[in-house]
């Protein structure tokens, strides 16, 4: 039987595809190497690599799971810990919790103890302080059990974790017993470094030592001597925050600048953001807004990949204050919106910490407790076998979960954009209502006073005269009583609209209250000021009230003064103009009275 060219080509393609498939399978499973690499070599390499090379760690982990029958029982347990550790480093916190949950089924206390300690740390990374508080009594129960033989390194690391938990919640008194217990053991230099860093911070918070105590410097030097550069940088950031909380802003600046000069590089984005945010905040409180803005902008370059909202909250606050100080109100409003959103995140963390404290004090347990009761009926061997079988099918299962989460995430993002739009509209409306009277579009009293004082200060420095008039509607009570309050409101609204049309040269008009208004008239001579006041009087005399229903009279009385008579202090101008206004009322209303014409000045 002979094959034609097409059949021969198809057969060759089929053979090539099968060879490629077999080669890929062998490469993935590690069987392409001949002979097989010793399992202990793979195991010790995986323990050594951990998170330093995530891709290599994942490959080694897959090989170990495939050949787990060759591992000892202790190595299989350590393999589960490693799996949870890598999932945590990748941010897959729920998967990491599930992995450690299997270990809590063990009948060996030290395995369960280490699993609970790791789950406590994961819950803290998730900001689930209430969930973290659930594991504290379980850890303490095993720790206080004399029959439980706990490895020293596991015990020491767990104590450091408990101290850090109470430190984050601000429960420094509750952390003290664990500090004393920790220092009763013989610690390695690395454990000593972590423990001293926690202890000195707590003692400063409790007022037992100051920020200049020698123990702080010795802690820093100890950590540096064993190469714990990252720990030192975290330590400096925590101390700088305490300086700021105690309003020792120059101390925070000196501490951070000294560390920046000493260190070759700041390793984590969080530390970079914290250092710049703390410098920005400190310089702002010391009055140097130029440097404060510089460090605030630098902070924003490092906040994209961190979950801690404090640095960006402070950065937006500094930029808002800088924009406000330079009268850049549009920019200030934008930074105020960003500050508000960041501060909401910060407030949420405070609430979560409060929940953690409450659950820790009252022994409350989250809903996850009910789920874990079912899981604890499983046996350890079944759990281990499930982990092994899951190696081949986990991708499809978690892919489905990933797609579901992505859909939920997109829905969440859409809702957040909608919420942001609503917040922006609310802020815009609130800002507008805060400065302007919604009926007349004139400035509110506080906004008018602020604007007028700024203008008077400028005019005084230029030695330029200004005028101030105060007017209110004559017989407003009678208009409301006889003609209805709606017509009185119409007179105020349309009368002020006509006044705004007269104000064409930088005049500032504000509603002082009720039917009383004030207008600051800048850069005018006395005759021009009086002419302007007569125009305002004419506006109300010529107001066509027939448009609202039927014709009725609407007049106003005006009290007028100038800086030549009353000076440049707004309160004096308002007082004298008010005296002139009362005189206009007493003289028969519907007129302008200049304060200087009153003899003697009343």
CATH of the domain at 253: 1.25.40.10
pLDDT on residue 199: 86
Q: How far apart, in whole angstroms, are the C-alpha atoms of residue 293 and residue 254?
A: 18
Residue with tokens 């009343």: 602
Establish if 500 belongs to a structural domain.
Answer: yes
Residues 450 and 580 in one domain: yes
Residue that is last in its domain, among 326, 345, 364:
326
Contact 449, 570 (CB under 8 A): yes
Profile the chain (602 residues) by mean pLDDT over runs of 10 residues.
Answer: 55 60 50 56 63 66 73 76 74 81 82 84 79 84 81 82 81 83 84 85 86 87 84 86 90 90 80 89 92 91 82 89 88 86 78 62 44 41 54 63 81 80 76 75 89 92 92 84 77 86 85 89 88 90 78 86 92 93 91 80 48
What CA dihedral angle connects 147, 152, 153 and 154, to 10 degrees? 10
Q: Domain limits at 253? A: 228-326
Encoding tokens for residue 333? 């409003």
Contact 110, 147 (CB under 8 A): no
| pTM attached to this predicted model | 0.49
Exposure string over 350-375, b if 16+ CB within 10 A, otherwise e = eebbebbbebbeeeeebeeeeeeeee
Residue that is last in its domain, among 293, 326, 359:
326
Encoding tokens for residue 225? 């001597």
Establish if 436 belongs to a structural domain.
Answer: no
Q: How many CB atoms lie within 10 A of CB 389?
A: 11
pLDDT on residue 2: 46
CA atoms within 13 A on the CB side of 333: 12
Residue that is last in its domain, among 326, 341, 362:
326
The region that residue 592 occupies, defined by phi over 0 for left and psi between -120 and 50 for alpha, beta otherwise, is: beta
pLDDT tens by residue, 452-476: 999 999 999 999 999 999 998 888 8
Q: How far apart, in whole angstroms, are the C-alpha atoms of residue 296 and residue 50?
A: 35
Residues 452 and 591 in one domain: yes
Q: Which helix (H) or strand (E) holds 431?
A: helix 380-435
Establish if 164 belongs to a structural domain.
Answer: no
Question: Helices marked H in 151-213 — which ranges?
Answer: 152-169, 172-182, 189-205
Candidates 351, 350, 355, 354; CA nearest to 366 is 355
Establish if 563 belongs to a structural domain.
Answer: yes
Q: How far apart, in whole angstroms, are the C-alpha atoms of residue 140 and residue 138?
A: 5
Residues 322 and 449 in one domain: no
The number of distinct structural domains making up the chain is 2
* E-state strands within 424-496: 466-473
pLDDT tens by residue, 122-140: 887 777 777 888 888 888 8
**φ/ψ (deg, to 5) at 278:** -70, -35
Residue with tokens 């010391």: 286
Residues 452 and 318 in one domain: no
Encoding tokens for residue 266? 């700041």
pLDDT on residue 515: 85
Q: Are strands 466-473 and 592-594 parallel, antiparallel or unpaired?
A: unpaired
CATH of the domain at 588: 3.30.70.270
Establish if 550 belongs to a structural domain.
Answer: yes
Contact 302, 272 (CB under 8 A): yes
Establish if 366 belongs to a structural domain.
Answer: no
Q: How far apart, in whole angstroms, are the C-alpha atoms of residue 508 and residue 576?
A: 18
pLDDT on residue 370: 36
pLDDT on residue 357: 63
Residue with tokens 């009720």: 514
| Beta partners for residue 516, in sequence order | 472, 513
DSSP for residue 35: S
CA distance to 194, 213, 261, per residue, from 179 (Å): 11, 18, 32
Q: Which helix (H) or strand (E) holds 512?
A: strand 508-513
Contact 47, 82 (CB under 8 A): yes
Establish if 300 belongs to a structural domain.
Answer: yes
Q: How far apart, in whole angstroms, are the C-alpha atoms of residue 5 and residue 488?
A: 101
DSSP for residue 519: E
Establish if 580 belongs to a structural domain.
Answer: yes
Whether the upstream peptide bond of residue 35 has omega within 30° of 0, thus cis, is yes
What CA dihedral angle connects 250, 253, 259 and 264, to 10 degrees? -150
Candidates 519, 524, 512; CA nearest to 564 is 524
Q: How many CB atoms lie within 10 A of CB 453?
A: 15
Candidates 367, 373, 306; CA nearest to 342 is 306
């Amino acid at each position: 039987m002979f094959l034609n060219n097409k059949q021969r080509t198809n057969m060759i393609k089929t053979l090539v595809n099968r060879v490629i498939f077999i080669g890929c399978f062998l490469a993935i499973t590690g069987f392409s190497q001949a002979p097989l690499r010793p399992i202990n070599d793979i195991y010790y390499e995986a323990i050594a690599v951990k998170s330093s090379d995530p891709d290599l760690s994942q490959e080694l982990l897959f090989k170990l799971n495939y050949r787990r029958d060759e591992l000892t029982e202790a190595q299989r347990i350590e393999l589960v810990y490693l799996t949870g550790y890598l999932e945590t480093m990748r941010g897959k916190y729920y998967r990491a919790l599930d992995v450690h949950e299997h270990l809590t089924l063990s009948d060996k206390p030290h395995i369960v103890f280490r699993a609970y300690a790791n789950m406590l740390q994961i819950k803290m990374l998730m900001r689930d302080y209430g969930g973290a508080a659930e594991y504290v009594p379980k850890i303490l129960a095993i720790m206080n059990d004399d029959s439980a033989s706990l490895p020293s390194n596991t015990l020491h690391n767990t104590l450091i974790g408990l101290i850090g938990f109470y430190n984050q919640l601000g429960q420094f008194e509750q952390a003290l017993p664990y500090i004393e217990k920790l220092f009763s053991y013989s610690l390695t230099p690395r454990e000593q470094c972590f423990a001293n860093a926690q202890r000195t911070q707590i003692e400063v918070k409790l007022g037992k030592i100051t920020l200049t105590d020698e123990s702080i410097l010795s802690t820093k030097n100890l950590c540096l001597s064993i190469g714990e550069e990252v720990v030192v940088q975290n330590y400096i950031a925590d101390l700088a925050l305490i300086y700021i909380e105690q309003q020792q802003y120059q101390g925070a600046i000196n501490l951070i600048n000294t560390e920046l000069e000493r260190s070759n590089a700041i390793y984590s984005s969080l530390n970079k953001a914290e250092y710049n945010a703390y410098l920005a905040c400190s310089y702002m409180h010391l009055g140097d807004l130029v440097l404060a803005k510089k460090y605030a902008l630098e902070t924003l370059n490092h906040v994209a990949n961190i979950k801690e909202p404090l640095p960006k909250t402070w950065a937006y606050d500094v930029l808002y204050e800088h924009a406000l100080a330079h009268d850049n109100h549009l920019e200030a409003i934008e930074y105020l919106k960003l500050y508000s959103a960041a501060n909401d995140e910060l407030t949420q963390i405070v609430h979560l910490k409060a929940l953690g404290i409450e659950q820790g004090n009252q022994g409350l347990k989250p809903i996850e407790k009910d789920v874990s009761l079912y899981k604890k009926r499983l046996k350890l061997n079944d759990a281990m076998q499930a982990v092994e079988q899951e190696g081949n099918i986990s991708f499809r299962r978690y892919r489905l979960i990933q797609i579901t989460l992505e859909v939920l995430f997109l829905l969440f993002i859409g809702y957040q954009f909608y919420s942001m739009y609503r917040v922006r509209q609310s802020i815009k409306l609130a800002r507008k209502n805060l400065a302007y009277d919604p009926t007349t579009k004139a400035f509110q009293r506080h906004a008018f006073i602020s604007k007028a004082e700024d203008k008077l200060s400028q005019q005084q420095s230029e030695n330029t005269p200004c005028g101030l008039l105060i007017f209110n509607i004559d017989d407003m009570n009678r208009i409301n009583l006889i003609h209805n309050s709606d017509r009185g409101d119409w007179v105020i609204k349309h009368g002020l609209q006509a006044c705004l049309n007269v104000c064409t040269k930088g005049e500032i008009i504000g509603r002082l209250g009720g039917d009383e208004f004030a207008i600051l008239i800048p850069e005018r001579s006395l005759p021009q000021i009086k002419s302007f006041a007569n125009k305002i009087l004419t506006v109300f005399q010529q107001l066509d009230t027939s448009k609202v229903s039927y014709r009725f009279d609407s007049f106003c009385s005006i009290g007028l003064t100038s800086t030549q008579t009353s000076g440049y202090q707004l309160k004096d101008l308002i007082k004298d103009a008010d005296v002139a206004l009362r005189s206009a009322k007493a003289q028969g209303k519907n007129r302008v009275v200049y304060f200087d014409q009153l003899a003697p000045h009343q």
